[in-house]
Amino acid sequence: MAEEQFSLFDSGLPAPTAATNPVDYDQIPDKVTIPILPGTYDNLDAIGEHCNRCYRCDLGQTRTHAVVSRGNPKAAIMIVGEGPGQQEDEQGLPFVGKSGQLLEKILEAVRLDSAQDVYISNIVKCRPPENRVPTPDEMAACKGYLMEQIRMVDPKIILLTGATAVKGITGNKQGITKIRGQWIEWEGRLCMPIFHPAYLLRNPSKEKGSPKWLMWQDIQTVRAKLDELTAADASA
């Protein structure tokens, strides 16, 4: 036995990684001690299946559906929200309630189609009770799923809606009012912090300098960057 093991470890083959030696899929959801390493998943559907069987944090106890994504997995833009609300929990799709309707209008204003041009997900995949902000532990438990989504979708631009999305991805704890509208480079990707649509619903003024007015500036900045990157790709 000892000799067999020796020859196994001394095989001269590259050391196993998550990609070459996937973690047992059945073990991942329940055990927060088992990290979700880059390369754990080789397709986005498997993440969806896991999230619906996941108990890495207590949010799994109260969900109706895990809310994993909607949109185009090949899109150049990924949008990251905070976490599902009631409608999202019921339908299993992100941004389908009032915030989602406003998000659709914001995208349409710069000719972006939510089914074609973006891929939408959240920091946590299960609804926090009473729509409270997810705790750091809940965000940490879910982070591996999001990192795998980002790795596989490979977006050129990530829109971070609100402070929780910024904190959940980049670790930056600054208020959204301070950092919105400025590109952040994170892991070689361009991220744009923007107001969360729910914040805009609570602040309906369109006056110059208002949150809605600022969102209009920010989404135009994003559109211009997308056009610039697309043109650069076409001429490469």
Which of 161, 164, 158, 218 minimizes the C-alpha distance to 188? 158
Residue 70: CB minimum distance to ligand URA, A? 9
Residue nearer to ligand URA on the CB measure, 40 or 69: 69
CA distances from 157 to 81, 126, 222 (A): 14, 24, 8
The 42-71 site mask, x for binding ligand URA (CB under 6 A), equals -------------------------x----
Residue nearer to ligand URA on the CB measure, 40 or 125: 125
109: left (phi over 0), alpha (psi -120 to 50) or beta: alpha
Spatial separation of the C-alpha atoms in residues 78 and 38, rounded to whole Å:
18
Residue 87: CB minimum distance to ligand URA, A? 8
Lookup: tokens for 100 = 């989602």
Place of tokens 């389908």: 96
Helix (H, G, I), strand (E, B) or coil at 133: coil
Lookup: tokens for 136 = 């750091």
Place of tokens 């650069």: 232
- Examine residue 168 and tell whether it contacts ligand URA (CB under 6 A): no
Residue 197: CB minimum distance to ligand URA, A? 7
- Examine residue 29 and tell whether it contacts ligand URA (CB under 6 A): no
Decide if 214 contacts 177 (C-beta within 8 A). no
Residue nearer to ligand URA on the CB measure, 71 or 84: 84
| Amino acid code (one letter) for 92 | G
Spatial separation of the C-alpha atoms in residues 52 and 116, rounded to whole Å:
25
- Examine residue 85 and tell whether it contacts ligand URA (CB under 6 A): yes
Residue nearer to ligand URA on the CB measure, 40 or 141: 141
Q: For ligand URA, which residue of 72, 122, 149, 170 counts as binding (CB under 6 A)?
A: 122
- Examine residue 149 and tell whether it contacts ligand URA (CB under 6 A): no
Q: For ligand URA, which residue of 29, 71, 81, 144 counts as binding (CB under 6 A)?
A: 81
Binding positions for ligand URA, rule: CB under 6 A: 67, 81-85, 88, 94-95, 97, 99-100, 122
